Amino acid sequence: MVLLNKKAIVTGGSRGIGRAIVKELAKNGCSVVFTDIAFQSGSPEEEAKNILIELENSDVKIFGFTANAASSDDAKATIEFAEKNLGGLDILVNNAGITKDGLLLRMSDEDFSKVIDINLKGVFFYTKAALKPMMNQRYGKIINIASVVGIIGNAGQANYVASKAGVIGMTKSNAKELASRNINVNAIAPGFIQTDMTDKLTDEQKQALLSVVPLKRMGKPEDIAKVVKFLSSEDSDYITGQIFVVDGGMVM
């Protein structure tokens, strides 16, 4: 188990990519606090229990915690909860994100701001809150979930693209700032991943997307989770400020 006795926080961890990340970290010996603003099962305790059942025979601790990624106070409360219940914090995965797609001409100010608040400001709030325990122990791994559209852009997603491009820029800046404290900061830019969001697409839309993917298939949440595991482990100790594109070859 490459993450034995490590402690992590995963934001937006109750479904999709976030849930896969929680399970991958836990399978490798890491105890996890995962957040969401609303849980599929109705409560954070029940959601944590469900994940433990899926893992089978896991000795790690898993806790759900209700939090809004757009709240600085919630970010601080999450870190305090993790320190109290896990005994520390080694890994932060900033995964929480939403979409509010629409053409620029019709996009409301509210839809633009809400996406920026959760997707970008959320990364800032959680990273800042996590710095105290990480700097005190002179060790930490911060992994931000960005998107390939933050690199190449995408029509109808001005807010989402801006937020993910901001995450990429913040990753590089924070990596330079925190390297002297032995804190690694990297990002993953997923391509088209099979989640609740992509399940809503029509077959025609899916085929159009896959036409630009050399591997001719969508990725799975587990494809992202495995890269998170690598970036959380000692195998990535000499890597910081990098953007790992996981997209089946779409962006080359």
Whether residue 141 has pLDDT greater than 80: yes
Q: Phi/psi at 80 (nearest 5 deg)?
A: -65, -40
Say what percent of the chain tops pLDDT 90. 90
CB 61 within 8 A of CB 35: no
pLDDT digits (tens, 9 = 90+) for 178-221: 999 999 999 999 999 998 777 777 888 788 889 999 999 999 99
pLDDT of residue 207: 87
Crossing angle (nearest 10°) for helices 16-27 and 221-232:
50
Grade residue 233 by pLDDT with cuts at 50, 70 and 90: very high
3-state secondary structure of 62: strand
Report angle CA 86, 80, 72 to the nearest 5 degrees: 135
Whether residue 110 has pLDDT greater than 90: yes
pLDDT of residue 58: 77
3-state secondary structure of 192: coil
- Tell me which of 126, 139, 160, 238 is the catalytic residue: 160
pLDDT of residue 158: 97
pLDDT of residue 200: 74
State the chain's mean pLDDT as an integer.
Answer: 95
CA separation (Å) from 77 to 65, 66, 119?
9, 10, 18
Question: Is 160 in the active site?
Answer: yes
Which domains are assigned to the chain?
7-246 (3.40.50.720)
Gyration radius (Cα) of the chain, Å: 17
- Summarize the confidence of residues 236-249 as an average pLDDT: 98
Measure the CA–CA gap between 48 and 3, rounded to whole angstroms. Answer: 19
3-state secondary structure of 191: coil
Grade residue 59 by pLDDT with cuts at 50, 70 and 90: confident
